[in-house]
Structure formats: structure tokens, C-alpha cells
Amino acid sequence: MMKRLEMKFYKHFQGLYASIRVIFQGEKDEGREREYMSRKRGTGSTTSRPHKSALSRLLTLTYLPDMPPRLPTLSRLVLRSPSATSITRNVLPRRVTAAGMSTSAERQSDFQALRQLGAKHITKGLGRITEGIMVKGEGSYVYYDDGRKYLDFTCGIGVTNLGHAHERVSRAAADQCMGIVHSQCSIAMHEPYLRLIQRLLPVMPDPSLDSFFFWNSGSEAVEASIKMSRYLTGRQNVICMQGAYHGRTYGAMAVTKSKTIYSEFTGPLMPGVYSIPFPYWHHFNLPPTTPTSTLVEQSLYQLDLLLAQQTAPKDTACIIVESVLGEGGYVPTPPEFLQGLRQVCDKHGIILIIDEVQSGFGRASDGKGLFAVEESGVKPDILIIAKGLGNGFPISGVISRSELTDKLKPGSMGGTYAGNAVSCAAAAEVLQVFHDEKILDNVAARSQQLFSSLRALQSSNDLGPYILDVRGKGLMIGVEFVTPKSTTDGIVPDVGVVAGAPEKMASRVAKKCIEKGMLILTTSVYETIRFIPPLNVSEEDVKKGFGIFEEAVREVVREG
């Protein structure tokens, strides 16, 4: 009986192959290569022909009757072009049985149907940097339904800090699933909630941060912090930073000042929000060489002016600031600036909220503590955490002093899924892994490695002139490119404009990196790429990622 396995190939293979060899590896066929006839679906032809059209093409591999009833693992496909150039495509390890052939074929066509469903039924309000269905994540790599494999330097936007599907974290979550999944924080305490607090207490930036509330997302935590500040001070106004990103719910959106896309045509937003320029040279249209002290002075001066002209201290509930400006361009917040904010807050009884949703949990660590704010010695009144906390399981936290939170009325905080047991169990294990696997040591080593490669590139004669700035902390690193006249968002800065430089460098470099097998993101309204590799990334993968990046920059520069 003939068995069939259907596979889809994508655009980048089109026109390249004339025959297909399927290689199985496993107990019986170890190392043996089997060649099977292939044909284009529906044509009846025994060889596939170069394909010229169509984004995806479904091929049917026809298996011969001598096939063993249980085939070993399908591991590779070799696509051979008429010019005998072969492309080896690793496919997802999958055990295929002769009986299961039709199952696998069904799976492929099911994926195809799912893609179409996604294209039609997922809101267009979501943007996406890749096509296809991500089916698996393992350490620093992710895999797609069609066998594509990527080095992941996005970590799901700074979330999977311990790599994808970290065995111990996933195991802790799975075990918790067999205990209790949802015990609802307003009904009862649960063990993982308490274990998590137990593990967080000793790693807080300051021992005064001893009162915890867990929620699901960063945005919700931001909302809670603003609500708490207003309640505790009896004041309404909130001061945030130009370039800040705090989320997409209404309060969080109101204090987000990184791009207009997040809130355009959706107003009115939460009232009572004011912003000051963040100490980033672009915000003052000054060169990257501007001393930090000058930038900090300028920003703090603007804060004084704001408090004198627009929002009186007695009307100001809180100041919210990220420890590293994320969406605003991966600009570390200078310790002197945080210290200046602390002084202003202390003077006027304003609550200082430090948002470490992205920078926390070792992401922007100097190798010593888990939080970027620690370098400044500043004590936050409220610390917001999320992302790396659960390594992919949804959980966020609002941490403050008991002295403040004791004033809150029971029932004023809460939420159906707040502090979910499975997420708490995963997060508690994350902290244990940080300790056991010495993650911060790796952050320090890999940060140094990546910074020195990027800085060498910035100093090089050929590509250096296109790199305006390399900055960041730990493994939260930004590279800003020059622009020919205006940024992608139409800003015409005095700095970083180089006649003849390629247009839209950041997005073009990111696109090329993806084509070359590495997921990477842009950030900010300036031409900036952000590196967010897993914190346990290997030396070899950092080298590989940098190599892909360098090649991409070189190609964009060459193409002009």
C-alpha cells in the first residue's frame, strides 16, 4: 500500500529543487538515506518541478510499498536543484509510522488550514514579524510548523530569560497543575504564592520592599501602582517620562510616551498625566557624546519646571520611570537621575514607582543584583515586575512597603486570575534556577562578549560610520543606526543624519537577520535594534547571533 506524507515548502525554496530526498534516522535506518519519489500534488508526475509561484506549495511524497511499518524519526530533507546545489532542511524531529503517514499529512494540511484561519480570524490590530506557526521552543531556539528554526534574540520580548521551555520551570508548572491550578486570591492563600514571596524577599533591591501583590501582566501592575499611589497620597497627577512604555490598558497607555500608535484615535486617556524628557541625548537633540551629567541636569530641571508650572507637588501622586527605557530605545536610566527623582519625591511626598517589567530579573543586571535600579542605591516606593519573573507563565507583581500597603482597604486590590498558582509555582522555580545555574554570572560574561563585538563593529572603518550608538545594560542592548535625513517616524534630528546612509536601517537589518535565521526586534522611533537573548545563552550562540547581525548590516549598507 502506498503511503503519503505531505509537506509544505515556502517561498525561499521556490524554483530551487528538482528532486527531493527524505532522510530518516533511527533504530533501523540509522545513517541510511532513503530516496523516495516525490511529485507535485495532483499532477501525477514522479518528479517535482521548480515552483515559480505561490507562497507555499504542498508536495506529496509517495512512499514505496517496501516501507517498514514503523519508520524511524524523520530528520532531514534534502532539496536538490537542477544545478545540483542541495539545501538541507532540518525538520522537526517527529516519529512517523507508516500508519501515521496519513496523520502527518493531515497535520501538514491542518497547519495550512490553521494559517488560513489565522490570516482571516486574528485581529489585524496585531502586528507580527514572522509568518507561520511557532510550534516549539527549546532553550535559545524556536521552531515553526514548516521546519524553520531560529535563534531567538527576542525571548518573546524579554520574557523567556531562561530560554524556552526551561525543563525545571515547565516541570514545576506541570506538577502544580496536578495540585491546584486556581485558588483565587480573594478566597484563600495558596502555597506557590507564599513560596514565591519567600524566594523574592531576599533578592529585592531593598529590604523595605516587603509587601507583595501578584497580577497577570505588566500593564495591570502599572494600573495597580498608579491606583495605589493616588489612594495613598489623595492626589491625582502622575508624572512619566518621554519615551516611556508601560503597557496598553488605559492607565498604562496614558503613561506610555514611546510611540503614538499605541493610543491614537482612542482618547480620552486617563487624565492627570504629565511627562518630562528622559535623559537621552536625542530628547534634547544633542550628540551621543553629551556627558550624562548634562542630560540628567536638563531632565531634572524640566521636572522642577513641571512641578512649578503644570502640576503642583500637592497634586502629584507619583513619578513612574523604567530602570532602562525599553520601547524608548534601550537607554539605561542614569543612576544620578534616579537619585535626583528620589530626592524630589522625598521632598514632596510623591511616590516613586520603578518599572522593572522588562529590565528586571537579571535582564539589565550588572552581574550583581536582579534589578537594574540596584546600581543607583535608590529605594523604590513601588517596584513593578513581570516578564522574566514567570519565564513565559503570565505573572506580574506590585511590590511595596507594608507601611504603605497596610493603609489599603481589603478588597480594593484583586482580580480573578491574580497570582495564579501555576504561574507562581513557575516563578518560584525561576528564582531557584537563577541561583542554581548562576545565571547572573552568564549575564555578565555574555554581556561583555556582545558589547565588545558590537563596539568593535562600531569602530570599524566600513560599518562603523553607520552605527550611531551602542548602549544598554546586561543583556538588554540597543544599537542605533544613522539615518539619511529623517527617522522612520519622520523626525529630523540634528544628530545621526548622514547623507547617503541607507533608509530605515533598523527594520531592514532586523528583516535580514530573520531571513538568516535569527529573530530580533527593533525599538523606538529612532533607528534602533534591540538584543534580548536568553540570559543563559551560550558563548557560541552569542557569536553566531552577532555574526548574523554583522552580515545583515553589511548587506543593508551595500544595498544602500
- Residues found near ligand PLP in the complex (CB under 6 A): 157, 217-219, 222, 245-247, 322, 326, 355, 357-358, 386
Based on C-alpha coordinates, what's the Rg of the chain? 26
User: In terms of CB distance, is 105 or 253 closer to ligand PLP?
Assistant: 253
User: In terms of CB distance, is 307 or 424 closer to ligand PLP?
Assistant: 424
User: In terms of CB distance, is 155 or 357 closer to ligand PLP?
Assistant: 357
Q: How far is the CB of 255 from ligand PLP (least distance, A)?
A: 9
User: In terms of CB distance, is 39 or 246 closer to ligand PLP?
Assistant: 246
Q: How far is the CB of 357 from ligand PLP (least distance, A)?
A: 4
Q: Please list the residues that pair with 329 across neighbouring strands.
A: none
Can you say whether residue 157 is alpha, beta or left, with left for phi > 0 and alpha for psi between -120 and 50 degrees? left
User: In terms of CB distance, is 326 or 472 closer to ligand PLP?
Assistant: 326
Secondary structure of 344-364 in the HEC alphabet?
HHHHHCCEEEEECCCCCCCCC
Q: How far is the CB of 57 from ligand PLP (least distance, A)?
A: 37
User: In terms of CB distance, is 218 or 502 closer to ligand PLP?
Assistant: 218
Per DSSP, helices labelled H in 132-249 are 155-158, 167-177, 191-200, 218-233
Nearest to 533 by CA among 478, 475, 453: 475
C-alpha atoms less than 13 angstroms from C-alpha of 43 in its C-beta half-sphere = 15
Q: How far is the CB of 216 from ligand PLP (least distance, A)?
A: 8
Q: How far is the CB of 226 from ligand PLP (least distance, A)?
A: 12
Q: How far is the CB of 386 from ligand PLP (least distance, A)?
A: 5
User: In terms of CB distance, is 157 or 181 closer to ligand PLP?
Assistant: 157
Q: How far is the CB of 159 from ligand PLP (least distance, A)?
A: 9
Distance CA 305, CA 97 (A): 72
Q: What one-character-per-residue DSSP string does 205-217 give?
A: SSTT--EEEEESS
Q: How far is the CB of 326 from ligand PLP (least distance, A)?
A: 4
Q: How far is the CB of 442 from ligand PLP (least distance, A)?
A: 22
Distance CA 57, CA 279 (A): 51
Q: Is 78 helix (H, G, I), strand (E, B) or coil?
A: strand
Q: Is 385 helix (H, G, I), strand (E, B) or coil?
A: strand
User: In terms of CB distance, is 252 or 276 closer to ligand PLP?
Assistant: 252
Q: Which three cell numbers stand for residue 226?
A: 498608579
Q: How far is the CB of 82 from ligand PLP (least distance, A)?
A: 48
Q: How far is CA 57 from CA 60, 101, 350, in A?
A: 10, 19, 61
User: In terms of CB distance, is 277 or 394 closer to ligand PLP?
Assistant: 394
Q: How far is the CB of 219 from ligand PLP (least distance, A)?
A: 3
Q: Which three cell numbers stand for residue 191?
A: 502555597
Q: How far is the CB of 250 from ligand PLP (least distance, A)?
A: 12
Phi, psi of 372 (to 5 degrees): -70, -25
Tally DSSP H helices, then E strands, for the chain. Answer: 13, 24
Beta strands in 450-499 (DSSP E): 467-473, 476-481
Sheet holding 382-385, edge to edge: 211-215, 396-400, 382-385, 351-355, 316-322, 237-241, 273-276
User: In terms of CB distance, is 37 or 157 closer to ligand PLP?
Assistant: 157
User: In terms of CB distance, is 61 or 159 closer to ligand PLP?
Assistant: 159
For ligand PLP, the nearest residue by Cβ is: 218
Nearest to 256 by CA among 270, 242, 236: 242
Q: Is 419 helix (H, G, I), strand (E, B) or coil?
A: coil
Nearest to 304 by CA among 271, 353, 343: 343
- Specify the pairing of strand 19-25 against strand 70-80: antiparallel
- Specify the pairing of strand 476-481 against strand 528-531: antiparallel
User: In terms of CB distance, is 9 or 245 closer to ligand PLP?
Assistant: 245
